[in-house]
A and B are shown apart, each in its own frame.
Chain A
């Protein structure tokens, strides 16, 4: 055997050893009844054709590799941005295990959430008892300052009423009467994680704002939206806001929750928006959402309370950041300091330095609606062309906004918007109308392998690379980071294409 105690091979080289290769081949022959190599090749070739693409795009009932997650995931992420808050998902256990591992895999941090562990009897008789016991257990076991309740499909299908259930549980003494238990109905069969985020944030605001009278002040509320880069982005936002000198509340700040130091202490909770700040945020002059599609109902609610509301599409790059800072400056009456102007100049300088490498590069961009919008806009600022813009959870309204964005620049002329399409659609699109790079999350690594289109990881989730979430992509400094990420891939690709000594290394250059 190739494996021995003297020299232990890890998985990458081990299974290339002849013993394993023979085993794989044998299993394939004996158990898989495989099609012939030619048949597989023929099928593979067929999947690259326009004919197959037409059939693929005509697909109605089936979704393959959707680029979206379900509402409760968004709700769990939203709840993680508040001080000492435990996410409580009313429903069965398994879903919650998935939200926790999903977030942990991305952030490389523990992610806490509990469920009411509904089982068959709960489905038949209703989940009230699970709520009563669940809240009591969560309260005593994990000592949270707030329990944020959301739901899974199961609770929604049987129609459990969270408002009544929570009140019942409080009456039964599960938690004190004045204990904070905001809630949101988040059925997974409606919308996507961005809607779950929206519902949960709105639930929290409603919980703290309901029945109180607003006295308008000068502060600003900022809601980051569902952001896989929150650790870097939120900190960068706070730095910029502090530089401008604005009084603000970041509503839903998960930057510390998903970035705790390794010092021997386990922190179930860390950082997050303080609950009294959430309550006081009712008096803010305005609420700004950095992602419109993550906060449609929340902003509506804030507007109903009499606040001015503004939303952005994941503000990135020069224009995106300009727009955000200008609005903040306008609302607060505070000038934008010289230090930020210098940062802006540096980003532009960097983009100009690299312009010839970025110009005319073609991209496919997929992800959440706002993220796709922000990335497409940034790409066009660098002279790149977004060819495919795809959001599985994109709506008709988003599609129109994207069309208008593409029409605003000559670099958007070849851009196509694909709302509601999945990654298997994108696969056909990449085969028939190839691009230079894909911008999106880790799931596209399979598209990268199939279609040979290099993937630039810029969205949530990133499972197969580490620490992206720690660096901002927002703000001018974040723009630099994003620019560098894109350029690194461009140069890596060029190096890979020209790496053979004395054959293709005519562009394997040291200086660029």
Chain B
């Protein structure tokens, strides 16, 4: 039952936040009830789809009226190195008659059958949504039946939007993988240096910037869930020897239960920033060696880290004089908060504030240590507070996601997208250099001056002193141009010796 599943997720022992609560509060979960009338983030369906959709060769079928899928089609730029099936917008497109007559289940079954015939994917993920859950469509039953008749896994993802937040949806998606996918395929090439990465979405192809680092060490990524994953990789994830978890708020339940069920140890790490990337490699090697991988892996890892760090620092040094003392306001969801803090401080950027809304207690502890001042952390900042901070020049730039972009722009401040809608990879050593380069570019864009300066006339539309002042730019005023008269008094304009146009 969905209710039990949700209770189970709320009970997650890996989540320190929840464990700190009493039994009664824990049952209510982390999410505060949303304030009616106040702006809010995504729903559980959104969260589930975010976590599962980047599995690229799977057909993702949304059992819903059109808009659930229509509005969320391709709203995150996860990179795929192969199939583009994941990007197709499959939906049952439920209509009024279907709802009234209760034809949803039949429609869903037919849709699954059609996908299986037309696309022959390795699996189909079926997502329930508010409407189909409310009318009581039993997607588990339909999936089980369809799985049998079509001869391929049809996985129900039971996370209708109304059950809770995006974050809850993330975790329910993890549960769906545990219940129906992971452990269903036994690979024949299991090795001592296989790992899983959890909570990596390969946004803007970011993971591709990191993957080669592991390959150079001879470490095989059995499954990166979900970034650029194939179904069979995910299904065989239980054979890995260790797990790195990137986004703990999204998939802590998955990491912990995989450890419980298959004994795969995990650690939490990040690829944002130089020392964090090094740390991730180091911890991975350590866990693998602990489970029987050859011990020279540790030395080879240290050698790789030394080489890569030196290269990255050399490239970063050029930016230090330009960025030293620049003040940054961070407003990002979850995982990036503390890792980006560490990364930026490494090159002398000052952090004037960072959101920790979705950070774990551990994240916050890390940030506290880095910033040495709790005042720079804010649980949640209303748009108007962000605006006030920026408008009063407390920061030189804001790094955030697309939804708060326009707060910065309206406050006439530079802004850089570091969330899912961006198109540039910031992970790993090279990604860090790129992030710094992008901050430098954003800060030095000439448009900010235009944005800040008032129009050169006053509120009444009359010339201001600035507008009437003689202009610094050349060639604007013929009277100020000594060559002007000389040139335009010629018999035929431009016919002189100085006219290179002639032949």
Minimum C-beta distance from A412 to chain B (A)? 11
A337 at the interface (CB under 8 A from B): yes
Residues from chain A with Cβ under 8 Å of B502 in the complex? 190-191, 420
Identify which of B121-129, B131-139, B445-453 touches chain A.
Answer: B445-453
Question: In the complex, are the beta carbons of B473 and A63 less than 8 A apart?
Answer: no
In the bound complex, what is the Cα–Cα distance between A393 and B74 (angstroms)? 49
Distance in angstroms from A470 CB to nearest chain B CB is 27
Task: Tell me if A300 and B461 are in contact (CB < 8 A).
Answer: no
Number of A-B contacts (CB under 8 A): 187
Cβ distance A308 to chain B, nearest Cβ, rounded Å: 10
Interface size class of A (residues with CB under 8 A): 35 or more
B475 contacts A395, CB within 8 Å? no
Q: Is the CB of A408 within 8 A of B474?
A: yes
For residue B432, CB closer than 8 A to chain A, the reply is: no
Query: Would you call A505 and B475 a contact (CB within 8 A)?
Result: no
How many angstroms between the C-alpha atoms of A297 and B488 in the bound complex? 5
Q: Does B431 lie at the interface of the complex (its beta carbon under 8 Å from any beta carbon of A)?
A: no
CA distance A401 to B483 in the complex (A): 10
Contacts of B204 in A (CB 8 A): 507
- Tell yes or no: A133 within 8 A of B by CB: no
Set of chain A residues within 8 Å of B455, measured between Cβ atoms: 322, 336, 341, 344-345
A191 to chain B, nearest CB (A): 5
Distance A410 CA – B322 CA, assembled complex (angstroms): 14
Inter-chain contact B409/A352, CB cutoff 8 Å: yes
A61 touches B447 (CB 8 A): no
Nearest neighbor of B228 in chain A, beta-carbon distance: A506
B501 touches A405 (CB 8 A): no
Assembly CA distance A344 to B416 (angstroms) = 23
Find chain B residues with CB under 8 A from A323 CB.
Answer: 471, 476
User: Does any Cβ of B come within 8 Å of A176's Cβ?
Assistant: no
Stretch at the interface among A104-112, A166-174, A309-317: A309-317
Closest to A196 in B: B493
A510 part of interface (Cβ distance < 8 Å): yes
Given A191-B493, A335-B457, A359-B445: A419 and B477 within 8 A (CB)?
no
B119: min CB distance to chain A, Å: 14
Bound CA span A300–B489, Å: 7
| Residue numbers in A under 8 Å from B361 (CB-CB) | none
Taking the complex as formed, is A83 at the interface, i.e. its CB lies under 8 A from any CB of chain B?
no
List the A side residues contacting B476 at CB < 8 Å.
312, 323
The answer to whether B477 and A310 have CB atoms under 8 Å apart is yes
Tell me if A401 and B442 are in contact (CB < 8 A).
no
Please choose the segment from A32-40, A124-132, A378-386 that sits at the chain B interface, where 4 or more of its residues have CB less than 8 A away.
A378-386
Closest chain A residue to B468 by CB distance? Answer: A330
A161 close to chain B: CB less than 8 A = no
On whether the beta carbons of B446 and A383 are closer than 8 Å, the reply is yes
Measured CB to CB, the nearest residue on chain B to A420 is B500
Judging by beta carbons under 8 Å apart, are A392 and B461 in contact?
no
Interface string of B455-468 (1 = CB under 8 A from A): 11100111100011
Q: Pick from B80-88, B265-273, B368-376 the stretch touching chain A.
A: B80-88
Q: CB distance B446 to A335 under 8 Å?
A: no
The residue from A195, A352, A404, A502 contacting B447, defined by CB atoms under 8 A apart: A352
CB pair B501 A192 closer than 8 Å = yes
Within 8 A of A (CB), among B467-496: 467-468, 471-478, 481, 483-485, 487-489, 492-495
A356 in contact (CB, < 8 A): yes
Nearest opposing residue in chain A for B442, CB measure: A356
Cross-chain contact A506 with B80 (CB below 8 angstroms): yes
Give the distance to chain B from A379, nearest Cβ to Cβ, in Å. Answer: 10
B465 to A: closest C-beta gap in Å: 12
Assembly CA distance A199 to B491 (angstroms): 10
Cβ of A211 < 8 Å from any Cβ of B?
no
Known A348-B451, A359-B441: A502·B478 in contact at CB below 8 Å: no
Given contacts A195-B492, A329-B457, A355-B445, A311 and B478 within 8 Å (CB-CB): yes
CB distance from A411 to the nearest CB of B (A): 7
Taken residue by residue from 258 to 298, chain B's Cβ proximity to chain A (1 for < 8 Å, 0 otherwise) reads as 00000000000000000000000000000000000000000
Contact of A511 among B83, B421, B473 (CB under 8 A): B421
The reply on B205 being an interface residue by CB < 8 A is yes
Q: Are B447 and A395 in contact (CB under 8 A)?
A: no
Most interface-central of A326, A337, A338, A410 (chain B CB within 10 A): A326
The chain A residues found within 8 Å of chain B, CB to CB, are 61, 63, 68, 187, 190-192, 194-195, 198-199, 292-293, 296-297, 299-300, 309-313, 318-319, 322-323, 326, 329-330, 334-338, 340-341, 344-345, 348-349, 351-353, 355-356, 359-360, 373, 380-383, 391-397, 399-401, 404-405, 408-411, 419-420, 501-502, 505-507, 509-512
Supply 11 further A-B pairs (C-beta < 8 A) apart from A297-B488, A397-B484.
A187-B492, A299-B488, A300-B485, A310-B478, A330-B463, A351-B447, A352-B451, A382-B446, A396-B500, A397-B487, A410-B444
* Residues of chain B having any CB pair with chain A under 8 Å: 73-75, 77, 79-84, 204-205, 409, 416-417, 421, 423, 438, 441-442, 444-448, 450-451, 455-457, 460-463, 467-468, 471-478, 481, 483-485, 487-489, 492-495, 498-503
Q: Show 16 residue pairs from A and B whose CB-CB distance is below 8 angstroms, ordered by the A residue.
A: A190-B495, A191-B493, A191-B495, A292-B475, A322-B467, A337-B461, A355-B445, A356-B438, A381-B446, A394-B500, A396-B499, A397-B487, A401-B475, A404-B475, A408-B474, A420-B500
